[in-house]
Amino acid sequence: MAKLNQIIAVEKGVKSKSHQDLTAAHHKLQKPALLSGISRTYQPKDEEGEQLPPESTRVQVRTDEVLRETAKVLTRLFDVTATKDWANCEARADVTVDGQTLVADVPVSYLLFLEKQLTDLNTFVRKLPVLDAAETWHEDVSTDSWATDPVRTVRTKKVPRNHVKAEATEKHPAQVEVYYEDIPVGYWTTVKFSGAFPARRVHELLDRVEKLQQAVKFAREEANGAEVTDQRVGDAVFGYLFG
């Protein structure tokens, strides 16, 4: 008795061959010359007339034969696919993480769905925003976010000053250069807020996703190891269609 994973392994090849053979059969039947034959003989009007050899062309493709071969090929595909789908309805396994069963008796089709979703979730979690490691953060209940400690900085204002380079004389006015001096006028107190996650939280979530991914893969392999009962659907289908 075969196992489900063995049926899945051969299904792709059977599908590919069936498609190729069906295409080839279709092309054969679209060539009238292969389906046609002729036989003719020549008889002169009198004994002195020219004698010509008979001509004949054999029929190379017979529709009934093509149908029989097509039914044979597709019967294999129908039977393999039916065997897989029937088995998928029965093959089940538990999804277990760290000894705890999260979801029990899960069918293979849903395990495949879970695998795809968890792959997408893995990508999603990897791209979660992370708090700037250059800052020190703490939870701020009032804003329901993360906040830094207050940082006090000086606000300055540029005030013009005069620098006398040369005193005034009877002949020349004083030479004065204007420069600007930064004078403290106040203080800024800054607190930064963020809705991002601490890096450890992102790592924790990613670890959970990866653990569940492994558990689902293990469950799928376990379910696919179930023995299957060969289904014979093709004969009934093509017995009706081409019978």
Q: Give every residue of the chain whose pLDDT is below 50, as ranges.
A: none
- Domain locations in the chain? 1-91+231-243, 93-133+196-224, 150-190
Residue 191 confidence (pLDDT) = 95
Residue 34 confidence (pLDDT) = 86
Q: How wide is the angle at C-alpha 12 spanned by C-alphas 69 and 116, nearest 5°? A: 150
Q: Counting Cβ atoms within 10 Å, is residue 34 exposed (0-12), middle (13-18) or buried (19+)?
A: middle
Residue 233 confidence (pLDDT) = 93
Q: What is the dihedral of CA 83, 85, 87, 93, to 10 degrees?
A: 150
Residue 140 confidence (pLDDT) = 94
Single out the residue of 225, 239, 221, 243 nearest to residue 78, CA to CA: 239
Residue 46 confidence (pLDDT) = 85
Residue 1 confidence (pLDDT) = 67
Residue 154 confidence (pLDDT) = 93
The pTM for the full model equals: 0.67
Residue 195 confidence (pLDDT) = 96
Residue 59 confidence (pLDDT) = 86
